Structure 1
Amino acid sequence: MNIQKVIDRTRLDEKAPSMPWYVQQFIDYKLPDLSPSTLLEYVRDYETFFNWLRAEGLSEAENNSKVTLLELETLRMESITGYRLYLTTRKEGTNSRITVSRKLSSLRSLFHYLSQIAEDENYYPLLKRNIMAKVENKRIHKPKDTAAKLKGKILEDEELLDFIGYIHEGYATDVANNKQALYAHELNKERDACITSLILNSGLRVSEVVNLNISDIDLNNKMLHVFRKGNNDETFKTPVYFRAQAKDDLEHYLALRQSRYKVPKKEKALFIAIRNGQNEGQRMTKRAIQAMIIKYAKRFGKPSLTVHKLRHSFATDYYLQNDIYKTKEQLGHASTETTEVYAHLTDKTMSEAIERRTESS
């Protein structure tokens, strides 16, 4: 069972009733093809849009669930322009170009469904006029641009080992005067280093790490069985290999997992945390892993480093020794277009390496 999917499906079921009936119908239509996590993001995007419609007087609905199809049908292009402006300038937090593009893409998917697929009782489209069909779908994240943004924000060369080593020992020195931080580190350093090492030596996504069970590990073959993103077959786990460095860190963590975290027999999760007020360990959450990496990254001197950038760090390093197709396979990308990012990153890395050698000769 994919734990993260179960969590996101629960949240989706909780949020869906606050949406209009036609959005709920759209979610049901998309459920076989899209993950609950993706649909949850859709619902959050619609929540933002419907809140804005009502605040601007473009809908008379008393709450989001009452926004009508007619109100969507009669939107003008200037309204969509106004919404884009709102997303990029709102006081409570502006959105990046990529986020704005994603939010508009969510709306485009909904409007397309309502105007081209869904039918009323007379077999006519639910939406007679689709304003979102006029909104240009600009490609925002080109591989070369993404690579440029990542430069300097990921771990390169010896930094990969240095960061794991810092979690093992260096962090304790930096927080020596903070008893609470020191205690938490002493309790969790082997686990935290193991998670970091596993990502830096396999390229797993954080959701894939969260879903790992003890039974998914094959130490002898340095292999894991994971639920890959985009694979809706709940019975199939993809084999993913990891480097020897991660094997050492896994063995170290596994030797103390049971005693350190008081794991109940029913808990099959690989990575465990004991939450405040709890006596027994539970599966570590995605948010906890994300916060953990940020905590160490700031002290390490890489404040832009996130758990997802650990994956980028592995991929960049891996691509230097392998071709784009092997890198795509290892990362579980749907197409090589996504993997092209690392081609641009490594080209730059190799270019700089040549310059360094020239200077030293």
Structure 2
Amino acid sequence: MNIQKTIDRRKLDEKVIHMPWFVQQFIDYKLPDLSPSTLLEYVRDYEQFFCWLRTEGLSTATANDQVTLLDLETLHMESIVGYRLHLTTRTESTNSKITVSRKMSSLRSLFHYLSQIAEDENYYPLLKRNIMAKVEIKRIHKPKDTAAKLKGKILEEDELTDFIAYIADGYGHDVVDNKQALYAHELNKERDACIASLILNSGLRVSEVINLNVDDLDLTNKLIYVYRKGNNDESFKTPVYFREQSKDDLVAYMTLRQTRYQTPKREKALFVTVPNGHKEGKRMSKRAIQAMIIKYAKRFGKPYLTVHKLRHSFATDYYLQNDIYKTKEQLGHASTETTEVYAHLTDKTMSEAIERRVSG
């Protein structure tokens, strides 16, 4: 099991014991099909919903694990409307439309399981009445809308290579008067440029990058083996190709990975760091990579750029030279519906292409 899944599985096990027995049963039912990360989000959504039920007096339970099936069975439609309103209007950390839609989908999944799949000892459904079956959840996350939000916030054409070069060299010139920033850059520039290069030349997710081990790297064939999102077969790593530029950056980083970071031979992680107070290199965290990209992006003049937008940048660039099916496979998408974002992002390029004429 990869690093993030192991962490999320532990958190899931810690949280699910504070859920009603029927939620625990639902999570067990879903474990073979969904990742621990997804199920952890489900449990967090149920925590929030059950707390709301108790606060509103819709359940007499004094703790979440005491919420009953009858509490769910006797909910009125106005209660569900009230909960949706609570999610969208509460003053602290108001949820976006996409988040509300996801939280309602989590509830729908649970209620569907209890009313259509799970049975009591007499073969009757655990939930006799499913109020969530009446709730229509509109699709919010449309590819065209996503593409519109990404316009101008990703790297295009020469910017992909310019950004990598900036991390390797340009940033150092910009912080020359800041001794601390300059020291950190001198220490980490090859590693940081390599991480950005790998994402911009392969389209890997940040979760896939942090889980990489040295043994996953095949420089000769320009391949890297990763646990892909949604693939619950823990014995199988998917081969993902990367471009020639990334090979050069990987070679440069690998020559100093062990010596510069005092990385012990037992450490399998490809990308390492030496945390404050430590003497040896250890696996970088997801947060560290995200913060690192944001730091360089601001100085580069792209304040909206994030580590995930590097993946979008690669995907848009890749899609221009390949069809939607190759792009889907390269990115590890479950369906081409997700990949459609890049078709919309390249609309401008396509409209320019149709105007070109071959002279002669």
Is the shorter-chain TM-score for this pair beyond 0.5, marking a shared fold? Answer: yes
Aligned amino acid, residue 297 of structure 1: A
State how far apart, in whole Å, the 2-side matches of 1:116 and 1:330 are: 37
Aligned amino acid, residue 268 of structure 1: K
1:290 has 2:307 as partner: no
Q: Name 1:341's counterpart in structure 2.
A: 341
1:321-336 map, 5 Å = 321-336=321-336
Task: Note the C-alpha offset of 1:354.
Answer: 7.6
Using the TM superposition, name which of 26-35 and 41-50 deviates more: 41-50
1:219 has 2:219 as partner: yes
Sequence identity, in percent? 82
1:54-203 map, 5 Å = 54-203=54-203
Q: Name 2:242's counterpart in structure 1.
A: 242
Task: Note the C-alpha offset of 1:352.
Answer: 5.8
Task: Note the C-alpha offset of 1:175.
Answer: 3.0
Task: Note the C-alpha offset of 1:299.
Answer: 2.2
- Structure 1 residues 176 and 45: CA distance shift in structure 2, 3 A: farther
Aligned length: 357
Task: Note the C-alpha offset of 1:88.
Answer: 1.5
Aligned to 2:240, the other structure's residue is in SS state strand
Task: Note the C-alpha offset of 1:38.
Answer: 0.7
- RMSD (CA atoms): 1.7
Task: Note the C-alpha offset of 1:268.
Answer: 0.7
State how far apart, in whole Å, the 1-side matches of 2:254 and 2:129 are: 58
1:259 has 2:252 as partner: no
State how far apart, in whole Å, the 1-side matches of 2:87 and 2:175 are: 39
Aligned amino acid, residue 112 of structure 1: H
State how far apart, in whole Å, the 1-side matches of 2:57 and 2:177 are: 55
| Cα distance per residue 1:86-111 (max 9 Å; x no partner) | 21122111111111111111111011
Aligned amino acid, residue 188 of structure 1: N
Aligned amino acid, residue 277 of structure 1: G
Aligned to 1:308, the other structure's residue is in SS state helix
State how far apart, in whole Å, the 2-side matches of 1:126 and 1:179 are: 65
Task: Note the C-alpha offset of 1:180.
Answer: 2.7
Q: Name 1:300's counterpart in structure 2.
A: 300
State how far apart, in whole Å, the 1-side matches of 2:249 and 2:222 are: 12
| Cα distance per residue 1:10-39 (max 9 Å; x no partner) | 111122122222111111110000011111
Q: Name 2:314's counterpart in structure 1.
A: 314
State how far apart, in whole Å, the 2-side matches of 1:182 and 1:75 are: 60
Task: Note the C-alpha offset of 1:65.
Answer: 1.7
Q: Name 1:44's counterpart in structure 2.
A: 44
| Cα distance per residue 1:310-340 (max 9 Å; x no partner) | 1111000000000111111111111111111
State how far apart, in whole Å, the 2-side matches of 1:246 and 1:35 are: 30
Aligned amino acid, residue 165 of structure 1: A
Q: Name 1:5's counterpart in structure 2.
A: 5
TM-score after normalising by structure 1: 0.94
State how far apart, in whole Å, the 2-side matches of 1:116 and 1:65 are: 22
Using the TM superposition, name which of 298-307 and 244-253 deviates more: 298-307
Aligned amino acid, residue 173 of structure 1: H
Aligned amino acid, residue 49 of structure 1: F
Name stretches of at least 5 consecutive residues in structure 1 with no aligned partner.
none
Aligned amino acid, residue 313 of structure 1: S
Aligned to 1:320, the other structure's residue is in SS state helix
Task: Note the C-alpha offset of 1:81.
Answer: 1.1
Name stretches of at least 5 consecutive residues in structure 2 with no aligned partner.
none
1:209 has 2:209 as partner: yes
Task: Note the C-alpha offset of 1:57.
Answer: 2.2
| Cα distance per residue 1:263-307 (max 9 Å; x no partner) | 112111101111121111111122221222122222222222111
State how far apart, in whole Å, the 2-side matches of 1:80 and 1:180 are: 53
TM-score after normalising by structure 2: 0.95
State how far apart, in whole Å, the 2-side matches of 1:277 and 1:89 are: 43
State how far apart, in whole Å, the 2-side matches of 1:304 and 1:15 are: 34
State how far apart, in whole Å, the 2-side matches of 1:295 and 1:49 are: 37
Aligned amino acid, residue 95 of structure 1: N
Task: Note the C-alpha offset of 1:62.
Answer: 1.8
Aligned amino acid, residue 219 of structure 1: L
Aligned amino acid, residue 60 of structure 1: T
Aligned amino acid, residue 136 of structure 1: E
- Structure 1 residues 321 and 69: CA distance shift in structure 2, 3 A: same
- Structure 1 residues 309 and 107: CA distance shift in structure 2, 3 A: same
Aligned amino acid, residue 42 of structure 1: Y
Aligned amino acid, residue 90 of structure 2: R
Using the TM superposition, name which of 28-37 and 59-68 deviates more: 59-68
Aligned to 1:239, the other structure's residue is in SS state strand
State how far apart, in whole Å, the 2-side matches of 1:300 and 1:55 are: 48
Task: Note the C-alpha offset of 1:185.
Answer: 2.0
1:20 has 2:20 as partner: yes
Aligned amino acid, residue 121 of structure 1: E
Task: Note the C-alpha offset of 1:145.
Answer: 1.3
Aligned to 1:236, the other structure's residue is in SS state coil
Q: Name 1:276's counterpart in structure 2.
A: 276
State how far apart, in whole Å, the 2-side matches of 1:181 and 1:71 are: 56
Q: Name 1:32's counterpart in structure 2.
A: 32
Aligned amino acid, residue 217 of structure 1: L
